[in-house]
Structure 1
Amino acid sequence: MPRRFLQRYMPRPDTLKRRRSLRFMAPLIADPRLWLLTRRSVANAFSVGIFCALLPIPFQMVVAALGARLSRCNLALAVGLVWITNPLTMPLIYYANYRLGSLFFDTPVREAPMRLSARWIAEQMHDILPALLVGSLISAVILAALANAAVRLIWRWHVSRHWRRRQRKRRQRRARLEAEFDD
């Protein structure tokens, strides 16, 4: 992962500390370890962010911030990745999690009515909630682990590609200098 690319889109801790709405989090924001962009901190931030995003809980961003603090990973990435489940994607993701939980419990999947209402959801929540929670936990753990491994592999590939490119340039420069010296 190119560090410069990530730094371009990351918020600055000092600007966040100056915001009035975030002053209560100043001690958390002030910790410089939570703003590092290393292979470990970015990979763990992906794990924390995706894990929290797939859980059907309120205040996912707060949970992701606490998870970033506990695992000492990049705070901004962990909190930003929670927005994978936004109002547009949330119904699809949670329905897929519910179906996965239903498969786990080997129960029939309840079909949604043509007109979805809050009343129908409230009536069905008792039956739906266990499957939704278990399916969400299963998908959160699996996708968080896959994201962590993928980020580490991509980061390693990027660094090795950069090193090979640098070695190739050194060889070419050395060959050019030797050719000039021989002439």
Structure 2
Amino acid sequence: MHLHYRRFVLRLYKRFRHPRKLKQSRLHKWFALHFLDKTVWKPTRHSFAGGLAIGLFVNMLIIPGQMPLAALLAALFRVNIPIAIVACWISNPVTMPPIAWWEIEFGNWLCHTLHLGNPPPLDWKDLKRILDEATGFWNFFAQLKPWAASLYIGGSVAGVVLGFAAYAVAFVLWDLLLTLTHRRVKDDDDENDSGPDNSDSGQSGRRS
């Protein structure tokens, strides 16, 4: 199954990267340039850290379509697309209400501090009531309209800070991750190499 999938991906990659295809339209050329570049799929120190940073930034933006936006930004900035998409999964139906409430509180504080307005406060009980009364995803956002400025100001600032912090941590810990991965692979190889030797020694002992 894995071999067939790999062959399918390689055929698709070669097809879209074919010079004849690239000359058909500018959109096709742009898509191949950004989404079919090996840099955005093969993790490196920079691409992994950058993908994590972009994914966490988009994760703090409480908007629909987070994963497509994260994939688009990762492709534009030439960082790892899968890591950016996975980082968006932190925001889900369970974690979204507390994240939204914290961002509104943080956004209210920024608005008052920077004199950007006087948004109304939002109590946690009121947010739970809005969530219970909401008939759907869009209705929930419609009821948060009085706090929309605080939500996106707080989320954008928090996303930028979290993104830079995540990039720095991932960039520094990349060597540690590679060391642990290499050690695990090396240990597995040692176990595999020692297996046949032990069996041969046991067989030779029984023969003697």
State the TM bucket, normalised to the shorter chain. Answer: 0.5 to 0.7
Measured in 2, the distance between the counterparts of 1:93 and 1:16 equals 40
For structure 1, which segment, 110-119 or 61-70, has the greater mean C-alpha deviation from structure 2 after superposition? 110-119
Name the aligned partner's letter for residue 99 of structure 2: I
Contact 2:104-2:122 within 8 A present in 1 as well: no
Deviation digits for residues 49-75 of structure 1 (CA, Å, limit 9, x no counterpart)? 001111022211111111111110111
- Offset of residue 31 of structure 1: 2.5
Deviates more, 1:34-43 or 1:150-159: 150-159
Matched, 1:133 2:152: yes
Match of 2:166 among 135, 147, 157: 147
Q: How does 1:59-78 map to 2 (within 5 A)?
A: 59-78=65-84
Q: TM-score, normalised by structure 2?
A: 0.60
Please, what TM-score do these two structures have when normalized by structure 1?
A: 0.67
Q: Which residue of 1 aligns with 2:121?
A: 109
Q: CA deviation at 1:109?
A: 2.1
Match of 1:35 in 2: 41
Measured at CA, do residues 74 and 132 of structure 1 come closer, stay the same or move farther in structure 2, by a change above 3 Å?
A: same
Greater relative contact order (Cα 8 A, min sep 6): structure 1 or 2? 1
Distance 2:35 2:88 in 1: 18
The partner residue of 2:93 within 79, 87, 90 is 87
Return the alpha-carbon distance in structure 2 between the equivalents of residues 64 and 128 of structure 1. Answer: 24
Runs of 5+ in structure 1 lacking a partner? 1-10, 19-23, 164-183
Q: Show structure 2 runs of 5+ residues with no match.
A: 13-27, 113-118, 183-208
Q: CA RMSD in A?
A: 3.2
Give the number of the structure whose alpha-carbon radius of gyration is greater.
2
Aligned partners of 2:83, 2:37: CA distance in 1, in Å?
A: 15
Q: Percent identity?
A: 29
